[in-house]
Structure 1
C-alpha cells in the first residue's frame, strides 16, 4: 500500500476529530498498515489548544479499545493543508473554513461524502450526552472502515 496521510478536522479538536483519528489509527494498526497510514486531527478554532480530548470521547473510545490518551488539541494551519493527502471536515462549516484558509486545495472533503458516501454532517456531540458520543463513534467507525477499504487496506479491519 502507498503511504497516505489523513487529517480529520472538527471545531475544537476535542470531540469528533480525535475520535476519528483514534479509530483510523486503531483500524490501520489492526490491518497491519499502521506505518503506511499517517493520521492526525485538528480544530478550526483554537479554544482548546493543548487540551486532551473531551472525557466523553476518551470514555467511548476506551470502551471500544481505542486509546486517545496521547492526543492534544491543536488548530489547523496552512502547512497542514499542504502536508496531508486527505483532509476530512466533520461538517460543512469545517470544509468551508478549510477552503477559506486554502481556496485552491484539492485535498479537502466532507467526511460524510468522502468516507461515508452519504453527504451527511457528523453532528457535534459536545452539548449532548455520552450516548451522543457513542452515536458519533459509530458513524466515524463506519466511515473509517470504508475509507480504509477504499485505500486498499481492508484486510483485518
Structure 2
C-alpha cells in the first residue's frame, strides 16, 4: 500500500497550512509513519511567496523550518491526487468544496476536528494578530498533528 497523501489547506498558504505541513512532515517521520504531505491556499494572493516571516520565526523557535516553503493555490486536481484534504477552518472547507467533482477521491474535513484535537474546530488565522498568535498556532498545529498520527495509525 502506498503512503497516504495529505494536503493541508488555509486561505493564503503562508501561515497555518505550511506550518501544519512542516509539523506533520517532521512528526510523522519521527513516528515512523510514511506519509506525503503538502499544503496550499484557497486564494491566489501569495502564490510563489514564502511563508509569513512571523510564522517562520515562531516555527523556527519550535524546531520547524518553513524557509523552503512557497505558496500555491488549491487546484481541482488536488482532490484527485490526495487521499485526505484538511482545511484549517470552515471558510477554507467551503473553498475546497467548490473544487469537488464526481471524480474527486479525497476525503475532506476540518484539520482539528478530523484529528480529534480539543476545541476549537476552526484553526484561528494569526495573520492579522500579534506574534503570540503565531506562537499559539505552533502549539495548536502540534496538538492537531499528534491527533493526526493517532488517527493514521488506526487506519
Following TM superposition, where does structure 1 have runs of at least 4 consecutive aligned residues deviating by more than 6 angstroms? none
Residue 144 of structure 2 aligns to a residue in which SS?
helix
CA distance in 2, matches of 1:119, 1:58: 23
CA RMSD of aligned residues (A): 1.7
- Partner residue, 2:123: 122
Seen in structure 2, the aligned counterparts of structure 1 residues 116 and 69 have a Cα distance that, compared at 3 Å, is: same
Residue 95 of structure 1 aligns to a residue in which SS?
helix
What are the Cα deviations for residues 48-71 of structure 1, in whole angstroms up to 9, with x where unaligned?
000000011111111111111111
The answer for unaligned runs of 5 or more in structure 1 is none
CA distance in 2, matches of 1:6, 1:94: 15
Contact 1:48 1:74 in 2 (8 A): yes
The answer for unaligned runs of 5 or more in structure 2 is none
What are the Cα deviations for residues 76-96 of structure 1, in whole angstroms up to 9, with x where unaligned?
001111111110000001111
Aligned residues: 151
CA distance in 2, matches of 1:4, 1:143: 17
- Partner residue, 1:135: 136
CA distance in 2, matches of 1:65, 1:51: 21
- TM-score, normalization: structure 2? 0.90
State the shift of 1:112 in Å.
2.2
- Partner residue, 2:39: 41
CA distance in 2, matches of 1:13, 1:73: 5
Contact 1:110 1:119 in 2 (8 A): no
Contact 2:16 2:125 in 1 (8 A): yes
- TM-score, normalization: structure 1? 0.89
